[in-house]
């Protein structure tokens, strides 16, 4: 790994910093982030959403709204290292960036497999922020084993008629479009016979029902599809080849550096909290807590090195496989350890979820603790990541 920037990379980093110095309001950079909700920043106010529209427009002027996208599609066309630098600098400054399913999954997949008409219809609206996307993949009986999905799509003239249920659909209640996997050939082997659709979430027959978590936060949803007519022109790629679209690995901003930086910031926040605490949480009086916090600081640094390794591989044109699973496993379980350390520091005050409670950092510690339980599950469970590391990394036989 080469930790030093080249002259060109150093100049780019300086330009990013200059942009943030000039354009990022101090009150936005200083806002208290919701740990574990690195992209959402908690429940955004209307004023913040309006500001985000203006901020997105400024980023798009530089091509930084979707830095990995080619310039012809409105992106920045940045190199792998430049994307990394941009993510790192924005993360350290707590500067918001557009993202989500549209930027990270739908857009890149449409670029590779979409028709010219599909590219013209959807890509500009993703870049501008006009369209928010969700992912309609998981089902009540098909999560980790996604290829077992049962939602059906039957061709009927110029449409497909879709029936089924999806679950754990993040942001579906606010989404304009969704990427949908449905089975079009029930007689084919389960990894074949699946097609990939672009679904207008306002189509008759689409019902979105909230799943409210223990944070009393509405992030997930279950989505019911009842005789939903999807135009055949909304099929992405070939019929029955959707599985291969869904599993395509597009190397767009996969280093995880933003999460790594956020974890380092959490360590700093917890250390500052502990320095001013009294009683059991005081670092001056509790050597065990000092040791525990030091371990989290070391682990956050290790996580950053894992991210540097991945970005170095991508820069050489290599595709991280087991390395990505190592990074995901380490990061998600560090989330849990950090949250646990926060609860140890807060003690009984860790039960207080009130934003006005200084003893638990405005309730951030218990909220982070509750949210961290999702980290080893979302994006592929820790068990799945360990299986990938064992088989593809260590060459162990499948059980």
List pLDDT tens digits, range 12-27.
999 999 999 999 998 8
Residues 239 and 264 in one domain: no
- List 219, 253, 303, 323, catalytic entry: 253
Q: How much is the pLDDT for 37?
A: 47
- 3 state SS of 352: coil
Asked if 139 is an active-site residue, the reply is no
* Beta-bridge partner residues of 230: 160
Residue 241, φ and ψ in degrees, nearest 5: -115, 15
Q: How confident is the model at residue 48 (pLDDT cuts 50, 70, 90)?
A: confident
Give yes or no for a contact between 41 and 33, defined as CB atoms under 8 angstroms apart: yes
Return the top range by mean pLDDT from 102-111, 208-217, 219-228.
219-228
Kindly state whether residues 138 and 240 are assigned to the same domain: yes
* Mean per-residue pLDDT over the chain, rounded: 88
Residue 197 three-state SS:
strand
Q: Output the pTM of the full model.
A: 0.84
For residue 71, the enclosing domain spans 7-97
Phi-psi region of 67 (alpha: psi -120 to 50; beta: other; left: phi over 0): alpha
Q: Indicate whether 261 and 372 sit together in one domain.
A: yes
Evaluate whether 182 touches 229 at the Cβ level (below 8 Å): no
Assess whether 157 and 58 both reside in one domain. Answer: no
Which residue among 97, 123, 147 closes a domain?
A: 97
d(CA 319, CA 248): 12
Pairing of strands 177-183, 133-136: parallel
Q: Where are the alpha helices (DSSP H) in 241-363?
A: 242-246, 257-276, 287-315, 322-346
pLDDT digits (tens, 9 = 90+) for 248-295: 644 344 557 888 999 999 999 999 888 887 666 666 678 888 999 999
- Per-residue pLDDT, 34: 61
Report the length, in residues, of the chain.
399
Q: Are residues 33 and 71 in the same domain?
A: yes
- Look at the chain and report how many structural domains it folds into: 3
**Contact yes or no for 269/275 (Cβ under 8 A):** no
d(CA 272, CA 286): 15
């Amino acid at each position: 790994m080469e930790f030093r920037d080249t002259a060109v990379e150093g100049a780019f980093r300086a330009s990013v910093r200059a942009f943030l110095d000039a354009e990022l309001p101090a009150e936005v950079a200083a806002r208290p982030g919701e740990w574990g909700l690195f992209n959402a920043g908690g429940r955004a106010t209307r004023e913040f959403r309006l500001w985000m529209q203006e901020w997105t427009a400024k980023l798009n002027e530089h091509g930084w709204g979707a830095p990995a996208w080619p310039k012809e599609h409105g992106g920045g066309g940045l190199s792998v290292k430049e994307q990394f630098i941009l993510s790192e600098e924005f993360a350290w400054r707590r500067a918001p960036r557009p993202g989500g399913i549209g930027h990270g999954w739908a857009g890149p997949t449409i670029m590779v497999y979409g028709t010219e008409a599909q590219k013209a219809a959807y890509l500009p609206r993703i870049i501008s922020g006009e369209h928010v996307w969700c992912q309609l993949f998981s089902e009540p009986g098909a999560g980790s084993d996604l290829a077992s999905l049962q939602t059906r799509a039957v061709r009927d003239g110029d449409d497909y008629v879709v029936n089924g249920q999806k679950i754990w659909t993040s942001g579906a209640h606010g989404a304009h479009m969704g990427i949908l996997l449905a089975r079009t050939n029930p007689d084919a082997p389960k990894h074949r016979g699946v097609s990939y659709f672009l679904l207008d979430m306002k189509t008759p027959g689409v019902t979105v029902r909230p799943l409210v978590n223990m944070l009393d936060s509405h992030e997930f949803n279950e989505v019911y599809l009842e005789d939903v007519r999807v135009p055949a022109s909304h099929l992405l790629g070939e019929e029955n080849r959707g599985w291969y679209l869904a599993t395509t690995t597009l190397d767009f901003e996969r280093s995880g550096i933003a999460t790594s930086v956020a974890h380092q910031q959490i360590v700093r926040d917890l250390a500052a909290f502990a320095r001013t605490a009294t009683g059991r949480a005081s670092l001056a009086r509790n050597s065990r807590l000092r040791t525990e916090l030091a371990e989290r600081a070391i682990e956050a640094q290790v996580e950053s090195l894992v991210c540097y390794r991945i970005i170095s591989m991508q820069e050489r044109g290599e595709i991280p496989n087991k390395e990505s699973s190592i990074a995901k496993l380490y990061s998600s379980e560090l989330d849990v350890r950090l949250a646990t350390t926060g609860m140890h520091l807060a003690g009984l005050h860790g039960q207080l979820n009130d934003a006005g409670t200084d003893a638990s950092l405005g309730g951030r510690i218990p909220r982070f603790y509750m949210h961290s339980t999702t980290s080893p599950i979302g994006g592929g469970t820790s068990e799945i990541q360990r299986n990938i590391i064992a088989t593809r990394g260590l060459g162990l036989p499948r059980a």
